Amino acid sequence: MRRLRRSESMRALVRETTLEPGDLIYPLFLCPGEGVRREVGSMPGVFQLSIDEAVREAEGAAALGIGGLLFFGLPESKDEEGTGAWDQNGIVQQGLRAIKNSTAAKKLVLIADVCLCEYTSHGHCGIIAETAEGWTVKNDPTLDLLAKTGASLALAGADVIAPSDMMDGRVGAIRTALDIAGCEDTPILSYASKFASAFYGPFREAADSAPQFGDRKSYQMDGANIREAMREIDLDLGEGTDMILMKPAMPYLDVIRAARERVDVPIGAYQVSGEYSMLQAAFAKGWLDRDRAILESLLGIRRAGADFAVTYFAKDAAKLLA
Ligand code: PBG
């Protein structure tokens, strides 16, 4: 076996999996104001950005050959229903319009995350109601709000709509709303199998979206279930999703592989905030070789079967790959 490992050119010739800047999607957190660049405590190198700063970030990402951007928003104010999510002048809608008008937009796919948790005062991904057994997140009434949000983001300039809420039936509801709004050409990238994960912790600081009570286990998936993940994927495809996103990535590489063997649509995987933060913590301690660990973590996601990876390391990785 060692004959084919003798030189870098030989190893390159027989390399089975590739990793390119175009395979990477860079998440951005948009916040109100001007000239704002606020670092997230648990995510060194990740910032809440006002729109002017985000436009600059987008131009940087385009210059590095990154494939696309994924947008999250921190609204001016929150309420029970999350009205900021579908406001035509909402923070992500404004950001999309600004970036769509920049030169960067021609080189990048602009993906809008659809969820209510950043916009609701209670931090849950849907409408909540009290029942005899306590609170619950109501599925079907939430679908209307998600559908409105998806259409509003597409009209503001999103190239792809990416629902992450994990309500049942949301892909179908969003597809219908997009078609009615005249956005029949806008594809959906559904977070088809999204597990209730401890690794979203730092994101909730970045997006200010932690649930104020309870957890997300009644809508996000149980980490033990791979067959159920396949059912989620089948259902989303049946409702018309164009691509699927798997999440988190590293603790669930087997689920990505199973999805790859099952479906032929493009698959993305999300290297989530906790995966980023624990690597950053190890780099800060000098315990891991930064450059090699970044690329190896992303190559593993590609080798598991993902076509593209959402990662907070997108810029770092693109520089290393240049
Ligand atoms: C919104 C959403 C979350 C993430 C992406 N979209 C948080 C959550 O579900 O609590 C997590 C991303 C990350 O951890 O990097 N629902």
Burial tier of 101 (Cβ tally within 10 Å: 0-12, 13-18, 19+): exposed
Ligand 1 mean position, distance from CA 108 (Å): 22
- Residue 35: count other Cβ atoms within 10 Å of its Cβ: 8
| Percentage of residues in the chain having pLDDT higher than 70 | 100
* Pairwise CA distance, residues 27 & 92, whole Å: 12
Q: What is the pLDDT of residues 37-72, one digit of tens each?
A: 999 999 999 999 999 999 999 999 999 999 999 999
- DSSP 8-state code for residue 222: P
Atom number, ligand 1, closest to the C-alpha of residue 273: 15
* Pairwise CA distance, residues 216 & 195, whole Å: 9
Ligand 1 mean position, distance from CA 278 (Å): 16
Mutation test residue for ligand 1: of 116, 203, 297, the one with most atoms within 8 Å of CB: 203
The DSSP bridge pattern shows strands 37-40 and 43-49 to be: antiparallel
The DSSP bridge pattern shows strands 134-138 and 243-247 to be: unpaired
For ligand 1, which residues put their CB under 6 angstroms from it? Answer: 113, 115, 117, 125, 164, 200, 203-204, 216, 272-273
Evaluate if residue 300 carries a pLDDT over 90.
yes
Query: What pLDDT is stored for residue 125 in this prediction?
Result: 96
Q: Which residues pair with 221 in a beta bridge?
A: 195
| Percentage of residues in the chain having pLDDT higher than 90 | 99
Q: What mean pLDDT, rounded, does the chain reach? A: 97
Atom 12 of ligand 1, nearest CA residue: 272
Tokens encoding 312: 């907070």
Q: Which residues pair with 25 in a beta bridge?
A: 68, 310
* Pairwise CA distance, residues 116 & 86, whole Å: 9
Look up residue 82 and give its amino acid.
Answer: G
Residues 6+ apart with CB under 8 A from 227: none
Ligand 1 mean position, distance from CA 25 (Å): 15
CB–CB of 222/194 below 8 Å?
no
Atom 5 of ligand 1, nearest CA residue: 164
CA 147 to chain centroid: 18
Burial tier of 260 (Cβ tally within 10 Å: 0-12, 13-18, 19+): middle
Kindly state the average pLDDT of the residues 116-142.
95
* Pairwise CA distance, residues 52 & 209, whole Å: 23
Look up residue 61 and give its amino acid.
Answer: A
Atom number, ligand 1, closest to the C-alpha of residue 210: 10
Query: What pLDDT is stored for residue 7 in this prediction?
Result: 98
Angle of the 51-63 helix axis to the 314-321 helix axis, nearest 10: 20
Ligand 1 mean position, distance from CA 12 (Å): 36
Catalytic residue set: 194, 247
- DSSP 8-state code for residue 22: G
**SS3 per-residue string spanning 265-291:** CCEEEEECHHHHHHHHHHHHCCCCCHH
pLDDT category at 83 given cuts 50, 70, 90 is very high
* Pairwise CA distance, residues 172 & 163, whole Å: 11
Ligand 1 mean position, distance from CA 48 (Å): 15
CB–CB of 304/260 below 8 Å?
yes
Evaluate if residue 133 carries a pLDDT over 90.
no
Virtual CA dihedral for 206, 212, 218, 222, nearest 10 degrees?
50
DSSP for 58-98?
HHHHHHTT--EEEEEE--S--BSS-GGGT-TTSHHHHHHHH
Q: What is the pLDDT of residues 205-258, one digit of tens each?
A: 999 999 999 999 999 999 999 999 999 999 999 999 999 999 999 999 999 999
Look up residue 1 and give its amino acid.
Answer: M
Evaluate if residue 198 carries a pLDDT over 90.
yes
CB–CB of 74/82 below 8 Å?
no
Atom 6 of ligand 1, nearest CA residue: 164
Straight-line distance from the first to the last Cα atom of the chain, in angstroms, rounded to the nearest whole number: 29
Mutation test residue for ligand 1: of 72, 74, 115, the one with most atoms within 8 Å of CB: 115
